[in-house]
């Protein structure tokens, strides 16, 4: 496993807070009731300074705020944390991924001079964005993008394509330029393979906070907006191995965390090789104790042993948790100790995550 002094990239989840209820996000149950394991925690500036010492920040090439359960702009100290990173390491690249639907325009104007770019996740126009980004107000998104760009910020617009918004891709791209957005990115979701059973589905039924059915999230009909891994790679693997689960029992693993020299730090201060390993601990649809990852953490002494608010960051990265994860990559068979999530996300033959951008 990569050592702490070799880390170049940090994926930080600064908060579990969010106003949205996106149906494919683990923060909630298909867009409805909130994930029972969340505590709506946030990383304060003091927390950040305790976790990330100046020497560590200076060795980084890139720190980006995203996460599994929250939207970074809801972290009370989001801007202050980014300013601190910029002061400590003027050469570091900084970015935020957000739905863009909160904070004042003045806040966005300040952010523009601090970060390298903001990735705005906007999936349609005024009449469609809210169908996935449930709870996000279009007027706020529009005003905030405009303010950020007008202040000199580098904005990227990432458009997640479904069957109900695919007709708006070209129009949204044109409108993004009028707002001053530098990059327009079409995203082709790979979340139609469910982590519970690795089976492919064609649609995902969304619900609202009341538990009522809302939008049926179906894949786009236009092939150029479809995820190539789902379209071209999934079925041949299933035909050869009988199921995707059979395949990941034996598939070669090439860990993205090693290639990127990256770690993930959650809003509660826990440190993982990546966001996917963290996400498995907090799946709302099963008892936490059933998670392979949670069981592994318990085997080294419990959650406190990977919490950088308690244990020095370097000690966690160089310690037994990361080492045991690395050991699992050489094992064949989930029952024998191979981590299912590592084999699912970093096998060499099926990569719907990478295909989102192709």
The reported pLDDT for the residue numbered 1 is: 83
77 CB neighbour count, 10 Å cutoff: 18
- 3 state DSSP class of 69: coil
Kindly give the parts of the chain with pLDDT less than 50.
none
Q: How far is Cα 358 from Cα 187, in angstroms, rounded to an integer?
A: 8
Contact indicator for 158, 187 with CB cutoff of 8 Å: yes
The reported pLDDT for the residue numbered 24 is: 95
The reported pLDDT for the residue numbered 102 is: 98
pTM surpassing 0.75? yes
Q: Which domains does the chain have, with CATH numbers?
A: 4-223+255-333 (3.20.20.70)
- Pick from 86, 111, 74, 6: nearest CA to 267: 74
Q: How far is Cα 340 from Cα 160, in angstroms, rounded to an integer?
A: 26
């Amino acid at each position: 496993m990569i050592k702490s002094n070799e880390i170049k990239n940090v994926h930080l989840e600064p908060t579990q807070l969010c106003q949205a209820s996106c149906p494919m996000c683990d923060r909630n149950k298909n867009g409805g009731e909130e994930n029972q394991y969340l505590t709506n925690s946030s990383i304060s500036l003091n927390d950040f300074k305790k976790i990330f010492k100046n020497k560590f920040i200076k060795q980084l090439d890139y720190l980006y705020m995203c996460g599994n359960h929250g939207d970074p702009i809801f972290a009370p100290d989001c801007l202050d944390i980014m300013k601190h990173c910029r002061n400590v390491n003027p050469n570091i690249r900084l970015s935020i991924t957000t739905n863009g639907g909160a904070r004042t325009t003045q806040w966005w104007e300040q952010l523009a001079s601090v970060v390298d770019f903001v990735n705005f996740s906007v999936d349609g126009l005024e009449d469609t964005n809210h169908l996935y980004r449930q709870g996000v107000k279009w007027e706020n998104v529009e005003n905030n993008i405009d303010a950020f760009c007008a202040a000199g910020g580098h904005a990227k617009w990432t458009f997640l394509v479904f069957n109900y918004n695919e007709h708006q891709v070209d129009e949204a791209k044109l409108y993004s330029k009028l707002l001053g957005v530098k990059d327009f990115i079409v995203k082709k979701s790979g979340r139609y393979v469910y982590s519970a059973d690795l089976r492919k589905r064609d649609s995902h039924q969304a619900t609202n906070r009341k538990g009522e059915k809302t939008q049926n999230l179906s894949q786009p009909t236009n092939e150029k907006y479809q995820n190539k891994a789902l379209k071209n790679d999934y079925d041949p693997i299933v035909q050869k191995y009988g199921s995707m689960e059979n395949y990941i029992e034996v598939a070669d693993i090439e860990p993205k965390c090693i290639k990127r020299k990256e770690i993930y730090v959650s809003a509660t201060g826990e440190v993982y090789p990546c966001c996917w390993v963290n996400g498995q601990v907090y799946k709302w649809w099963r008892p936490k104790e059933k998670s392979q990852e949670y069981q592994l953490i318990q085997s080294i002494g419990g959650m406190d042993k990977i919490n950088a608010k308690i244990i020095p960051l370097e000690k966690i990265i160089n310690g037994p948790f990361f080492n045991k994860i690395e050991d699992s990559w050489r094992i064949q068979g989930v029952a024998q100790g191979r981590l299912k999530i590592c084999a699912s996300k970093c096998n060499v033959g099926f990569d719907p995550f990478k295909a989102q951008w192709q």
